[in-house]
Amino acid sequence: MALILKGAGYAYQAGTSVEHRALADVSLEIGAGDLLAVFGPTGSGKSTLLSLMAGLVTPTEGSVSVDGLELLSREAVRFRKSVGLVFQDPESQFFADTVLADAAFGPRNRGMSEVETDAAARDALALVGLGEEFHPRSPFSLSGGEARRAAIAGVVAMRPAYLLLDEPTAGLDAPGRAAVIEIVCRARESAGVVVVSHDPDTFLPLATRVLYLRDGRPVFSGDARAYAQAPPADAPVPEVVRAQALATRHGAASGSVTFDPVEAARRLAGAAGWPR
Amino acid sequence: MRARPVFGQYVAVDSPVHRLDARAKMGVAAVFAVALFAVDRFAGLLVLAVFVALSVAVSRVPWSVAVRGVRAVAVILTFTLVAHAVRWQPATVSLLRLGPLALDAEGLRSGVFFAVRIVVLVVGTSLVTLTTTPVELSDGLERALGPLKVLGLPVGDLAMMLTIALRFIPTTAQEAEHVILAQTARGARLGEGGPLRRARAYVPVLVPLFVGLFRRADALAVAMEARCYRSGAARTRLVEPLMRATDWATLSLGALACIAIAVVC
Amino acid sequence: MIELIDVGFTYPGAPNAALCGVSLTLAAGETVAVVGANGSGKSTLARLCDGLLSPDEGTVAVDGVDTRDESRARDVRSRVGLVMQNPDDQIVGTVVEEDVAFGPENLCVPRDELRLRVDESLASVGLTGSERREPHLLSQGQKQRLAIAGALAMRPAYLVLDEPTALLDPCGRADVLAVLDRLAVRGTGILHVTHDLADAARADRVVALSRGTVAFDGDIGGLLADEELLSSLGLRIPPIAILARSLRELGVPVPPDAMSAESVVAALWP
């Protein structure tokens, strides 16, 4: 059971004189337990990738399939049922009177019965760490971190097999970020997770696979450790990893890279002959 | 990122009409509209129609775009024609009879007159928005209404409101798209079912959009205050286009011509 | 100098004070970073510096003028520029140059000088050439630089920025930080409110707020060395700073504000 892209691509206004290839030739595979980190500058096609994976648009080249079901226009609705997409700034989607009612929107639209919907909404809110005291509150009264979590719960409540998140930690402070990281780790226990982010410090250590896009094309698509070990030029990597890469130019052994700053300090100091 | 044309109308070409000051265009259009309703003979209508046709030609706006507005009033046109031309069991002589309905010659004539007038009005006035950007229009309106400040009308504030509204139309459109996409991803089915169902389906789009707009209004007010904006206070302006000779000439000649036609016909 | 003396402020209807007993100075030409978790009172502090809010207790003075003095409000607001987190909530004009001119227009600056100020401000933020562009076609980073230009057009002596890079991508963030560096060199006093310690490390001084009170006021090195304080403040120490600290413990002379791989490697292999 996997979400598979084979040479997938999408062009806006395809076939016209103003055709714009936002994404081309992306191949990857994710299953439950995987965490795919997607990096790349703004405009590199990351949002288009998420739209493709969520079945919001059909690929103009290649194929996208979820658990063996290919994404063709008519099948799109069924496709969307297994993929949940959390957009950037998801708090801007709140519309219901209570947090619980807003979380129930997704599962109800999926056709679940009222009983199932209520259970799904409650489970999702529990997963994101919002206790029962939050259920009757208005979603508009929540703080930044709480609102982000409630919005993610709205998508998790649909029980998707694959969870896609677009910049889930953007604009959050440290405690807010930590809460989101916890949610992502819990989600991957039973789903395949894709995170688009500008923050390699947070998500590279958690990732199993990495996709690095530039101008709509994949510069790297593969194992996360391989990415950290030998990142392509200008690729987003944590500063700690960059320090180790730079150190190899001074003769430090290029052994396996570590994300732990204390361990990295020990190795680098040793390689440079400190303490002297 | 698609740039949406505001009002779906402004056509970005260069022409003598485009280069005219907004006030001149609006002034001529106003007098033109009044003249159009003062005219009561076909000859007058014809002259004004030719005037519009020439203006469209000079403006280099494609004809297909220029007459697009007529489609919007097609229903009114048909209604006007029928209301005038078709009589119910009249006593007078008719062109055609179909049961109790009769097509009356005199009625047909006046029906056509009124219908043609509507067409000329629509094409003529839409030429203003086709050749003037919304910003030029609102600036022009503000300056034209400037003298009304004497009467105590908050012209400056109204103009500021209009400017801000124009500035945020594309941004709000982008945000609406974002919310629609997000709710669709949560399974919302917009655009399905009868009108009542559709209206209800849009609640999850409209509520977040309005909440966002109110929040933005608050934040914007803070930003404007921080930049020393005061409601009703005098302000200088970076760009203050002046009416040139061509603008005055067009305004006066155009207005005079329309008045002349109205009087003669 | 912007001076806050024993300032207290409570939002109407709020159960707790947003700020309590806060004293702080920003000298001319100085760059001070204000850090703290959400809810620590950072944003309230920013608005007090501009006179948009008046303190319930204590005083806020800008170059000697009390911000509560209504008659001098214009003076204060033109001397202290304010830039906020969301660029879209600050841009009022339909094209770039008109937005930049908005502030000085409100001050009734004569037309020739308006043009001069617009050109200068756009040059300071690297947006020369974009005068007639519509704001919604700019990137987030460009929009934020436009917002800064709009504040600069008032020729402020101080610039207060409330989390200006929070919603930007790395590119936009780098551009904005570069603009702030240039302004600092030119002598503009900068108060940079942020929850990112890497950004704070670029300042001359760091002030940390915790639940409405000042918990630290000094250089970044001192703050980074205090682990307990950092975790109580709800701030995330960038991993590279932890690496730098560990190296220092091993005797490597890494500068206290080191936040980049380059500076760490340079210290290891001098």
How close C57 gets to chain B, by Cα (Å)?
A: 22
Share of chain C above pLDDT 70, in %: 100
Q: Which A-chain residues 38-57 have CB contacts (< 8 A) with chain C?
A: 41-42
Q: Quick check: B3 pLDDT over 50?
A: no
Pairing of strands C57-62, C65-66: antiparallel
Query: Mean pLDDT, chain C, as a whole number?
Result: 92
Share of chain A above pLDDT 90, in %: 61
- Cα dihedral angle (A55, A61, A65, A70), rounded to 10 degrees? 90
Among the partner residues B181, B187, B211, nearest to A109 by beta-carbon distance: B187
Find the residue in C nearest to B172 (Cα).
C136
Instruction: Please give the pLDDT value at position B5.
Output: 41
Instruction: Please give the pLDDT value at position A73.
Output: 62
How close A239 gets to chain C, by Cα (Å)?
A: 6
Which of B6, B135, B166, B167 would you mutate first to test chain C, the one with the most C CBs within 10 A? B167
Tell me the C-alpha to C-alpha distance, in Å, between residue C151 and each of A25, A26, A116, C100: 44, 43, 53, 8
pLDDT digits (tens, 9 = 90+) for A209-225: 999 999 999 999 999 99
Q: Using a CB-CB distance cutoff of 8 angstroms, which residues of chain B are in contact with residue C135?
A: 167, 171
For A143-151, what is the mean pLDDT?
92
Omega within 30 of 0 (cis) for the link into C156: no
Q: Quick check: B11 pLDDT over 80?
A: no
Tell me the C-alpha to C-alpha distance, in Å, between residue A100 and each of A96, A132, C195, C268: 9, 9, 30, 54
CB contact under 8 A, C246 and A247: no
Angle, helices B105-131 vs B74-85, to 10°: value is: 160
A40-44, B228-232, C141-145 — which one is most confidently predicted on average?
C141-145
Q: Quick check: B4 pLDDT over 60?
A: no
Q: Using a CB-CB distance cutoff of 8 angstroms, which residues of chain C are in contact with residue A41?
A: 169-171
Q: Quick check: A208 pLDDT over 50?
A: yes
- Higher-confidence residue of C235 and C218: namely C218
Q: Cα–Cα distance between A144 and A148 in angstroms, integer?
A: 6
- Lowest mean pLDDT segment, chosen from A63-72, C104-113, C155-164: A63-72
Closest by CA to B53, choosing from B40, B41, B67, is B67
Q: Quick check: A63 pLDDT over 60?
A: yes
Q: How many CB pairs under 8 A join A and B?
A: 54
pLDDT digits (tens, 9 = 90+) for B138-196: 788 878 887 777 787 888 888 888 888 888 988 899 899 999 989 988 988 887 778 88
pLDDT digits (tens, 9 = 90+) for B116-138: 999 999 888 888 888 888 778 87
Amino acid at the residue B132: T
Among the partner residues B181, B188, B211, nearest to A109 by beta-carbon distance: B188
Helix (H) or strand (E) holding A121: helix A114-127
Q: Using a CB-CB distance cutoff of 8 angstroms, which residues of chain C are in contact with residue B162?
A: none
Q: Quick check: A259 pLDDT over 60?
A: yes
Q: Quick check: B2 pLDDT over 70?
A: no
Instruction: Please give the pLDDT value at position B6.
Output: 39
Q: Using a CB-CB distance cutoff of 8 angstroms, which residues of chain A are in contact with residue B204?
A: 93, 95, 105
Q: Using a CB-CB distance cutoff of 8 angstroms, which residues of chain A are in contact with residue C261?
A: 239-240, 242-243, 245-246
CB contact under 8 A, A93 and B175: no
pLDDT band at A1 (very low <50, low <70, confident <90, very high): confident
DSSP-H helix ranges across C155-194: 170-185
Query: Mean pLDDT, chain A, as a whole number?
Result: 90
CB contact under 8 A, C52 and B233: no
Tell me the C-alpha to C-alpha distance, in Å, between residue B92 and each of A184, B27, B98, C103: 84, 44, 15, 72
Which of C75, C89, C96, C118 would you mutate first to test chain B, the one with the most B CBs within 10 A? C89
- Cα dihedral angle (A145, A150, A155, A157), rounded to 10 degrees? 140
DSSP B32-50: HHHHHHH--SHHHHHHHHH
pLDDT digits (tens, 9 = 90+) for A158-206: 999 999 999 999 988 888 899 999 999 999 999 999 999 999 999 999 9
Q: Cα–Cα distance between C107 and B230 in angstroms, integer?
A: 10
pLDDT digits (tens, 9 = 90+) for C54-80: 999 999 999 999 999 989 889 999 999
CB contact under 8 A, A144 and C243: no
Q: Cα–Cα distance between C99 and C134 in angstroms, integer?
A: 10
Instruction: Identify the chains in contact with A, defined as 3+ C-beta pairs within 8 A.
Output: B, C
CB contact under 8 A, B182 and A56: no
DSSP A54-102: TTSS--SEEEEEETTEE--GGGHHHHHHHEEEE-SSGGGG--SSSHHHH
Instruction: Please give the pLDDT value at position A74.
Output: 62
For A114-139, what is the mean pLDDT?
94
Instruction: Please give the pLDDT value at position B8.
Output: 43
Instruction: Identify the chains in contact with B, defined as 3+ C-beta pairs within 8 A.
Output: A, C
Q: Using a CB-CB distance cutoff of 8 angstroms, which residues of chain A are in contact with residue C234?
A: 173-175
Question: Contact at 8 Å (CB) between B193 and B201?
Answer: yes
Instruction: Please give the pLDDT value at position B158.
Output: 84
Among the partner residues C169, C243, C259, nearest to A261 by beta-carbon distance: C243
CB contact under 8 A, C239 and A266: no
Find the residue in A nearest to B213 (Cα).
A92
Share of chain C above pLDDT 90, in %: 76
Tell me the C-alpha to C-alpha distance, in Å, between residue A212 and each of A9, A52, B259, C214: 15, 16, 69, 42
CB contact under 8 A, B185 and A109: no
Find the residue in A nearest to C40 (Cα).
A173
A153-157, A230-234, B37-41, C92-96 — which one is most confidently predicted on average?
A153-157
Pairing of strands C189-194, C158-162: parallel
For C8-26, what is the mean pLDDT?
93
Q: Cα–Cα distance between A114 and C75 in angstroms, integer?
A: 60
For A230-236, what is the mean pLDDT?
89
Q: Cα–Cα distance between A252 and C81 in angstroms, integer?
A: 48
Q: Quick check: C184 pLDDT over 50?
A: yes
Tell me the C-alpha to C-alpha distance, in Å, between residue C107 and each of B159, C89, C155: 18, 21, 11
As a whole number of Å, the CA-based R_g of chain C is 19
Supply the ipTM of this predicted assembly. Answer: 0.89
Q: Cα–Cα distance between C120 and A30 in angstroms, integer?
A: 51
Helix (H) or strand (E) holding B175: helix B155-185
Instruction: Identify the chains in contact with C, defined as 3+ C-beta pairs within 8 A.
Output: A, B
Q: How many CB pairs under 8 A join A and C?
A: 105
Q: Using a CB-CB distance cutoff of 8 angstroms, which residues of chain C are in contact with residue B171?
A: 88, 135-136
How close A64 gets to chain C, by Cα (Å)?
A: 28
Amino acid at the residue C72: R
Q: Quick check: B212 pLDDT over 70?
A: yes
Q: Quick check: C106 pLDDT over 90?
A: yes
Which residues touch C64 (CB under 8 Å, ≥6 apart)?
none
Question: Contact at 8 Å (CB) between A89 and A72?
Answer: no
Share of chain A above pLDDT 70, in %: 97
pLDDT band at C45 (very low <50, low <70, confident <90, very high): very high
Q: Quick check: B98 pLDDT over 80?
A: no
Cross-strand pairs, C65? C62
Which residues touch C157 (CB under 8 Å, ≥6 apart)?
C28, C63, C79, C80, C188, C189
For A69-80, what is the mean pLDDT?
69
Tell me the C-alpha to C-alpha distance, in Å, between residue B11 and each of B60, B132, B163, B171: 9, 8, 20, 21
Instruction: Please give the pLDDT value at position B109.
Output: 86
Among the partner residues C88, C95, C151, nearest to B171 by beta-carbon distance: C88
Q: How many CB pairs under 8 A join B and C?
A: 94
Instruction: Please give the pLDDT value at position A132.
Output: 93
Q: Dihedrals φ, ψ of C218, to 5°? A: 180, -155
Q: Is C29 helix (H, G, I), strand (E, B) or coil?
A: coil
